């Protein structure tokens, strides 16, 4: 609650870590830097996070959860058709990732590094997103709008088919001219493939 809390908490460490990552980038950010920002010794940071990898994963998880939370609202918009929700959800995912990549490149690089290291935070993030997409597709099947023998498998296929527009490995292409049109074309193809 206090604007300048004196006790060292996991939350304060995560905020300082984001700051350091933004300033120095993932390759140069050290635990000593984080401790310096907080005005404590680096030993204290290790009281809250067992390793540097755990700290990086925690800060990344926090960052990924922001996207998951943004998208979760679209899943349950009962007044819209499942097709519209699939479109909106994928468009929102693309927009969120693109915005993050452009606006927060240092942290985005960290996320990409962790994704490559197959960290648990990323694995969970992907499972969360797939779960959301599965719910929309299942609703579409129940409404008779979509055909999908196994909604989870189909959701995975939709996710893979649009990977180019949310996988961080393709981030450099997201701002290229024509990217938006290509997204629309893939989205159209995928939605047509879902329809009964």
Instruction: Among 47, 66, 99, 123, indicate the residue that binds DNA (CB under 7 A).
Output: 47
Told to check if 41 binds DNA by CB under 7 A, we report yes
Contacts of its own copies in 134-163 (CB under 8 A): 153-154, 156-158, 160-163
Nearest-angstrom CA–CA distance, 188 and 94: 15
Contact range with its own copies by CB under 8 A, out of 49-57, 62-70, 123-131, 182-190:
182-190
Pair 112, 169: CB distance under 8 Å: yes
* Count of residues of this chain found to bind its own copies when the rule CB under 8 A is applied: 23
Pair 52, 60: CB distance under 8 Å: no
CA angle 38, 41, 44 (to 5 degrees): 90
Told to check if 27 binds DNA by CB under 7 A, we report yes
Task: For 67, list phi and psi in degrees, rounded to 5.
Answer: -65, -45
146: three-class secondary structure by DSSP: strand
Told to check if 23 binds DNA by CB under 7 A, we report no
Q: Which residues bind DNA (CB under 7 A)?
A: 7-8, 27-28, 30-33, 39-44, 46-47, 50-53
């Amino acid at each position: 609650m206090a604007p300048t809390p004196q006790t060292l908490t996991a939350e304060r460490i995560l905020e300082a870590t984001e700051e350091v990552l933004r300033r120095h980038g993932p390759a140069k950010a050290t635990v000593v830097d984080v401790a310096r920002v907080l005005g404590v010794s680096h030993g204290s940071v290790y009281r809250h996070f067992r390793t540097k990898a755990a700290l990086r994963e925690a800060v990344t998880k926090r960052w990924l959860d922001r996207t998951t939370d943004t998208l979760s609202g679209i899943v349950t918009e009962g007044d819209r058709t499942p097709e519209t929700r699939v479109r909106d959800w994928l468009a929102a995912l693309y927009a969120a990732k693109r915005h993050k990549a452009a606006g927060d490149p240092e942290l985005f690089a960290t996320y990409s590094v962790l994704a490559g290291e197959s960290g648990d935070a990323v694995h969970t993030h992907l499972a969360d997103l797939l779960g959301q997409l599965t719910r929309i597709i299942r609703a579409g099947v129940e409404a008779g709008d979509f055909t999908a023998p196994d909604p989870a498998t189909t959701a995975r296929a939709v996710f893979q088919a649009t990977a180019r527009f949310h996988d961080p490995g393709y981030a450099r292409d997201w701002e290229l001219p024509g990217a938006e049109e290509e997204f629309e074309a893939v989205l159209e193809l995928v939605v047509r493939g879902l329809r009964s």
